[in-house]
Amino acid sequence: MAAREEGNDYQRLTKKDCSTLCSHVVSHRRLEAMDDNIQSVHIISDTLKRKILEREKQTDMNTGISDKGSNMGFTAAVENSDEETVEIDTPLSRDQTKETGSKIIEVETENDKDLRNYDEACDRVKDFYREQHEKQTVAYNLMARVTFKTKVRARLTIWDALIKLNELIDESDPDTEMSQIDHSLQTAEAIRRNGKPRWMQLTGLIHDLGKLLYFFDAQGQWDVVGDTFPVGCRFDHRIIYPNTFEANPDSDHPVYSTEFGIYSKGCGLDNVMLSWGHDEYMYHIAKRQSKLPLEALAMIRYHSFYPWHKEGAYYDLMNENDKKMLKAVQEFNPYDLYSKMDELCDVEKLAPYYKELIDEYFPSKVIDF
Ligand SMILES: O[C@H]1[C@H](O)[C@@H](O)[C@H](O)[C@@H](O)[C@H]1O
Ligand SMILES: [Fe+2]
């Protein structure tokens, strides 16, 4: 009876009451999302304080011998006691990659040296990385994640999003000034030509779609495009232009400047904060709203993590699952990189094929970006 009365009360709510109720629910959800992040900020900051105290004590005891570079048993938001050494093959060399039988790779590896040549890149690229390496800090990354979680920026179909992206020219890319839809289609078409599965073709098509972020929350291109790297631990020398990290305040941080920083050996890349940008953003969108397999999500999330998938850095942070994902990301990379030299695609002609493919994996059609 009481329940029934409650039900009647509810039915008596005016339209205005309903919309107030809705907005409470929405803001409550927002707070929940922020709360997750804020709690991890507290954990990180408490652990940092503890860590710094421990470090000072240790330094006193050791009469000034610095322990910079050791993990100091640090266990912040990310904890893993598994100290097993992660062993993995080194990334595929160019010749090994060739043996995978991919036509695109056979044809185009001779131009390998011309791609990703950062020594000879133009000022636009060098300036981009100087700014990115200075500004991608732990503090910025936490803020970007809170901002991301607490709102929906646009509702669009994947195809319309690709068309919108066409307006962007990536300042970090030394190899192409073509529009993003051309690059997306070239990557997808190269994967399709090699007879790879449909999910991987779609991954090729959408892997850079996160660059849409530039039109929403971005502070510039430095928090959207370019290679990625972990924040919260020492910047590895295998990241391009490693010296530019000197301007990053985290480089002098007592914990963030150590080898494992706020992480621990074998903690898994899932627990590592990669510099915020299109990869991480699109990964979350695809994870929530698509039926794409884990390999596809890893390809999207890590395709710009060149220090890892190409240079072999940060292997000690991996867990067992990451080893499998590394293989997938390495398989994807040549299609992303070398298709930049292919002929331009006919967007109109390819649209029906790719629209159908999109619907297969993104059933809700209109996506929250
Ligand atoms: O400049 C490029 C570009 O921003 C790509 O989207 C990214 O995947 C690469 O890592 C990077 O080198
Ligand atoms: Fe990319």
3-class DSSP assignment, residue 157: strand
CA of 304 to the centre of ligand 2 (A): 6
Burial class (CB in 10 A: 0-12, 13-18, 19+), 39: exposed
Task: Give the percent of the chain with pLDDT over 90.
Answer: 64
Question: What does the pLDDT read at residue 114?
Answer: 81
- Looking at the predicted structure, is the pLDDT value of residue 83 above 50? no
Q: What does the pLDDT read at residue 189?
A: 97
pLDDT in tens, 263-278: 999 999 999 999 999 9
The reply, when asked if residue 227 is annotated as ligand binding, is yes
CA angle 304, 309, 310 (to 5 degrees): 95
What SS3 state is found at 137? coil
Side-chain-side CA neighbours of 180 within 13 Å: the count stands at 25
For the ranges 16-25, 190-199, 355-364, which has the lowest average pLDDT? 16-25
Least confident of 155-164, 295-304, 336-345: 336-345
pLDDT given for residue 103 in this prediction: 47
155 is in an annotated binding site: no
How far, in Å, CA of 313 to CA of 237, rounded?
9
pLDDT of residue 228: 98
User: What is the predicted pLDDT for the residue at 15?
Assistant: 60
Give me the pLDDT at residue 4, please: 40
Domain residue extents for the chain: 1-67, 79-368
Q: How far apart are CA 44 and CA 188, in angstroms?
A: 40
pLDDT at 50 over 50: yes
DSSP 78-105: S-----PPP--PPPPPHHHHHTT--HHH
ipTM of the complex: 0.96
pLDDT digits (tens, 9 = 90+) for 86-104: 333 333 333 333 333 344 5
- Report d(CA 120, CA 135) in Å as an integer: 23
User: How confident is the model at residue 176, as a pLDDT?
Assistant: 81
Under a CB-based contact definition with an 8 Å cutoff, are residues 364 and 337 in contact?
Answer: no
Which residue's CA is minimally distant from atom 5 of ligand 1?
226
Pocket of ligand 1 (CB under 6 A): 170, 172-173, 208, 225-227, 303-304, 306
Known binding residue 89? Answer is: no
Predicted pLDDT at 5: 41
CA–CA distance, 254 with 52 (Å, rounded to integer): 7
Report the residue among 172, 206, 222, 335 best suited for mutation to probe ligand 1: largest number of ligand atoms under 8 A from its CB: 172
Question: 74 C-alpha to center of ligand 1: Å?
Answer: 32
Tell whether residue 211 is among the known ligand binding residues. yes
Specify the residue for token string 């970007």. Answer: 144
**pLDDT value, residue 73:** 25
pLDDT bin (cut points 50, 70, 90) of residue 155 is: very high
**Protein residue closest via CA to atom 3 of ligand 1:** 226
* pLDDT range class, residue 172, cuts 50, 70, 90: very high
What is the pLDDT at residue 285?
Answer: 98
Residue nearest to atom 1 of ligand 1 (CA): 173
Q: Which atom of ligand 1 is nearest to the CA of 116?
A: 12
192: pLDDT confidence band, cut at 50, 70 and 90?
A: very high
Write out the H or E segment, with its range, that includes residue 164: helix 158-165
Q: In ligand 1, which atom is closest to the CA atom of 173? A: 1
pLDDT band at 61 (very low <50, low <70, confident <90, very high): confident
Q: What distances in angstroms separate CA 256 from CA 11, 235, 244, 249, 279, one per listed residue?
A: 55, 9, 16, 10, 22
From the CA of 208, give the closest atom in ligand 1: 6
Estimate to the nearest angstrom the gap between the alpha carbon of 296 and the chain centroid: 13
Helix, coil or strand: residue 219: coil
Tokens of 44: 């990180």
